[in-house]
């Protein structure tokens, strides 16, 4: 195994890990219906880099506070 093979393997593993992370993030999202989640997961896996970037860039930001209200300034 050469150094190139190792780097190639690490990059491939990173790509697969990023796609798995994004797929899980889509499925846990409350912003989409089930049919939208299925279509986005297909887009992530059928167009690996382009689809993942597209889905990630268009995903709405979600509040990770688990239902707690945001800390807002009151005047």
- Per-residue confidence in pLDDT tens, the chain, 75 aa: 788 999 999 999 999 999 999 999 999 999 899 999 999 999 999 998 899 999 999 988 875 545 555 556 665
Task: Show the tokens assigned to 53.
Answer: 């970037």
How far, in Å, CA of 60 to CA of 68, rounded? 18
8-state DSSP, 59: S
- Is residue 42 one of the residues assigned to a domain? yes
- Is residue 22 one of the residues assigned to a domain? no
- Is residue 44 one of the residues assigned to a domain? yes
Cβ(18)–Cβ(51) below 8 Å: no
Count up the domains in the chain and report the number. 1
- Is residue 41 one of the residues assigned to a domain? yes
Model pTM score: 0.73
Q: Can you give the residue range of the structural domain that contains 39?
A: 29-58
CA angle 27, 30, 34 (to 5 degrees): 55
- Is residue 17 one of the residues assigned to a domain? no
Q: Quote the longest CA-to-CA distance of the chain.
A: 64
CA 30, chain centre distance (Å)? 14
- Is residue 33 one of the residues assigned to a domain? yes
């Amino acid at each position: 195994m050469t150094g190139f093979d190792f780097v190639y393997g690490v990059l491939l593993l990173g790509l697969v890990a990023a796609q798995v992370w994004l797929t899980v993030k889509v499925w846990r999202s409350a912003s989409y219906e089930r049919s939208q989640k299925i279509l986005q997961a297909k887009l992530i896996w059928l167009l690996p880099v382009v689809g993942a970037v597209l889905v990630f860039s268009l995903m709405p930001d979600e509040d990770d506070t688990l239902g707690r209200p945001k800390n807002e300034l009151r005047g």
